[in-house]
């Protein structure tokens, strides 16, 4: 295990003392904080070797290109890709999923085909498939969520048929924290000839990930949730799938040859990376991967299990508080969504903010899931590598203040 107190010292925003109440950051599910090494790496790029990649035959351009591609290789090793050229830079997990929908999906789906996803998905893993179905005549079906926050696997199995072409499922719910049985889902989907896309926006920052062991076909995730900068995300897919996919956008750097009659596309991954990329952000993400590797992803997971175990135990004594999702820490991530009696989640978040505690309130880009439970919104506290049990204690104290003020 790592020393969390030392980890906290690595995050400048957590060591500011300009206000009377220090920041207790419990919104890492939305976006994580950044360690100094990531901030410094991006600053160094802009100060010392700012130049475009893949274009200049001069020293700082070659240095930028090397750093940009080295980050890609780090990310490939981090998820155990078969080859680093399977790692595509995007803006975020949302763009990664849309890339699959507009390229692979548009080329392979037709009227009558079926896409399966779930009721617990983030909008980013719902709307692209709804829009793809509208364009192609395919049908979207949804695996139900049980009252306990699990997927109804019997219902999933009943949906499977040769008409199913894609199963797109979260690897960890951003609301419920649920970790679905993706090994089983992937095996059953492949048995009927379907490909599987995992939305790893929540899982990649928090779990050890091995795409070869998972045997998924696509994996999408974002840099800003895993200690990296905003504006950079990843799509991973197997090489043979990428080779068969048309480009997402066209323009510079994604071509081998252009004439007035047409163009020949570049090889993956560059075929999908038109224009000047997010160079500093890619470099920053590479340093975030280095940082997580030093902590050890198995340690990251164990740390969060211990924190969530403590949080579930402490929160159960808060009057009127109802937690959604699995009740056992081993089956969930570091996100806890809850309601507090009849107090509106926005009011809960506002009172907590007055105590220096940052949580999220709303539908968390999962409106169908909230509709399922008859809710307009929930409050969500989420934990990461820089959180400690004292943060849970502050949350509980803040919730008691909410009850005293508003109940």
Task: Tell me the catalytic residues.
Answer: 365
Strand 233-237 versus strand 218-222 pairing type: antiparallel
Strand 24-25 versus strand 114-118 pairing type: unpaired
H runs (alpha helix) in 258-388: 279-295, 297-315, 345-354, 367-372
Strand 321-324 versus strand 335-340 pairing type: antiparallel
H runs (alpha helix) in 245-296: 279-295
Do residues 28 and 174 make contact, with C-beta atoms less than 8 angstroms apart?
no
Give CA–CA dist 34/255, Å, rounded. 34
The total number of residues written for the chain in this structure: 407
Do residues 186 and 214 make contact, with C-beta atoms less than 8 angstroms apart?
yes
Give CA–CA dist 301/326, Å, rounded. 16
Of 227, 273, 268, the C-alpha closest to 252 is 273
Strand 195-199 versus strand 164-170 pairing type: parallel
Angle subtended at Cα 290 by Cα 287 and Cα 291, rounded to the nearest 5 degrees: 90
Give the max Cα distance, the chain: 72
224 HSE (CA, 13 A, CB side): 13
DSSP tag of 356: T
Do residues 105 and 132 make contact, with C-beta atoms less than 8 angstroms apart?
yes
Using DSSP, state whether 72 is helix, strand or coil: helix
Do residues 287 and 38 make contact, with C-beta atoms less than 8 angstroms apart?
yes
Do residues 210 and 241 make contact, with C-beta atoms less than 8 angstroms apart?
no
**232 CA to centre of own chain:** 11
Give CA–CA dist 224/121, Å, rounded. 19
């Amino acid at each position: 295990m790592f020393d969390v107190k030392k980890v906290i010292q690595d995050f400048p925003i957590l060591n500011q003392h300009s206000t009377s109440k220090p920041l207790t950051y419990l919104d890492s599910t939305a976006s994580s904080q950044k360690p100094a090494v990531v901030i410094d790496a991006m600053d160094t790029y802009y100060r010392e070797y700012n130049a475009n990649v893949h274009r200049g035959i001069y020293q700082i351009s070659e240095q930028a290109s090397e750093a940009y591609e080295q980050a890609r290789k780090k990310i490939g090793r981090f998820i155990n890709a078969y080859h680093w050229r399977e790692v595509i830079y995007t803006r975020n997990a949302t763009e990664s999923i849309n890339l699959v929908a507009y390229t692979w999906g548009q080329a392979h789906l037709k009227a009558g085909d079926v896409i399966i996803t779930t009721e617990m998905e983030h909008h980013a893993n719902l709307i692209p498939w709804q829009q793809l179905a509208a364009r192609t005549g395919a049908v979207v079906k949804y695996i139900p969520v049980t009252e306990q926050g699990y997927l109804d696997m019997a219902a999933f199995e009943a949906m499977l048929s040769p008409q199913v072409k894609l199963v797109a499922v979260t690897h960890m719910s951003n609301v419920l924290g649920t970790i679905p049985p993706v090994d089983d889902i992937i095996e059953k989907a492949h048995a009927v000839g379907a490909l599987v896309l995992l939305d790893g926006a929540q899982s990649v920052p928090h779990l050890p990930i091995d795409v070869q062991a998972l045997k998924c076909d696509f994996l999408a995730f974002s840099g800003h949730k895993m200690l990296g900068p905003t504006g950079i995300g990843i799509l991973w897919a197997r090489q043979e799938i990428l080779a068969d996919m048309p480009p997402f956008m066209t323009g510079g750097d994604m071509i081998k040859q252009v004439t007035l009659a047409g163009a020949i596309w570049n090889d993956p991954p560059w075929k999908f990376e038109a224009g000047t990329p997010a160079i500093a952000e890619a470099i920053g993400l590479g340093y975030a991967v280095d940082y997580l590797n030093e902590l050890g992803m198995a340690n990251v997971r164990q740390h969060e299990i211990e924190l969530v175990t403590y949080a579930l135990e402490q929160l159960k004594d808060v009057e009127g508080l109802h937690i959604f999702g699995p009740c056992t820490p081993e089956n969930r991530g570091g996100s806890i969504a809850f309601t507090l009696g009849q107090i509106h989640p926005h009011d809960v978040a506002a009172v907590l903010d007055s105590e220096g505690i940052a949580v999220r309130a709303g539908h968390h880009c999962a409106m169908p899931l909230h509709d399922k439970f008859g809710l307009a919104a929930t409050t969500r506290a989420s934990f990461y590598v820089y959180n400690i049990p004292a943060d849970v204690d502050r949350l509980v104290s803040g919730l008691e203040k909410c009850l005293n003020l508003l109940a």
